[in-house]
Structure 1
């Protein structure tokens, strides 16, 4: 399968790229700086460009069977702007033009899925995030709406507490107030879940919460 990865140089994105290559997929990754991914592979194509560069984004998406976005906002309070929201809109537009329909990405349980039942995370997490990381929450909200408001066949995995612990292979997924999903999850297992959604149809046009 040909998969385009955005956010490929981040903690989760690097693992997504490596797992895709290990499974025999062909990967195209958009990176802001040439060489930052520091990975070479015969099935890896790197395109240098910003999310704001529509031509680069279109080039990255062209010919893909699916797109995996490991993009996430900065947690620095000094960060401002809507670069990721705008960039996600550009990705959605490029996918529409290229007739690529499968999108797999990340968000937070601060944002609800219609399948959720009432849960403490719906009350606590948005308040905490708005106080501690207001721009990050705004970006995640904008990114998510750009995708869910489109016609894409999306799966957006909601994560709470990513860690650098080794992969466990134990992944819980589901909807708040309905399924037993915790908070902490290793980045390696998050990456594994994202890659698994290339062939898993349970969460089409849904935002499952995931944990270890």
Structure 2
């Protein structure tokens, strides 16, 4: 499958690019600074550009069968990616979000609510941006999945990702980036959570 990955130079992005290539996919990585992507592979191409570069974003997505987006704290970038996908006819969008974004399936949960309050207090702009990005995804006429996580760590993949909603006693606060990358990649072909916002943890 041809997959375009935004946020490819971050820690989760690197893991995601490597996992996608190892699985036999053809990957286009979008990066403001391509030199930060320390991966070379015959099936990997890189498009250089910022999240305000509409032409470059269109080039990155135009031949894709699925897009994975990990830049939710820049909601204007999410808006531009959605517009590029609509322009080029690409349907499948998988987006990384956070526990700051509520969902009707959630129940009250003190630990996740406390984390969201903390983020809103110490980082109000990213808090607003990730919520705005989620709103844009939810109203997009695309086959989207919004993947919500709380705290990320760098532990190895555990292979047993828990999926659900907050407040049901299933999820922990912590998710490894390796587990997140594996789940994101799985969503490009799995339609279980189509137009849904599942929360996950390791």
TM-score normalized by the length of structure 1: 0.91
Gaps of 5+ in 2: none
Q: For residues 164-194 of structure 1, what are the alpha-carbon distances to aligned partners after superposition, in whole Å with 9 as ceiling and x for unaligned?
A: 1111111001112336111111111110000
Deviates more, 1:163-172 or 1:52-61: 163-172
d(CA) in 1 for partners of 2:112, 2:195: 20
Quick one: which of 94, 97, 112 aligns to 1:104?
94
Q: 4+ residue runs of structure 1 moved beyond 6 angstroms?
A: none
Match of 1:86 in 2: 76
Match of 1:5 in 2: 5
- SS of equivalent residue, structure 2 residue 195: coil
d(CA) in 2 for partners of 1:19, 1:184: 21
d(CA) in 1 for partners of 2:149, 2:107: 17
Q: Is structure 2 residue 57 aligned with structure 1 residue 57? A: yes
- After TM superposition, the structure 1 = structure 2 runs for residues 77-156 of structure 1, keeping only pairs within 5 Å, are 84-121=74-111, 123-156=113-146
Q: Is structure 2 residue 165 aligned with structure 1 residue 175? A: yes
d(CA) in 2 for partners of 1:95, 1:72: 16
Match of 2:179 in 1: 189
- SS of equivalent residue, structure 2 residue 3: strand
Gaps of 5+ in 1: 74-83
Aligned-residue RMSD, C-alpha: 1.4
TM-score normalized by the length of structure 2: 0.95
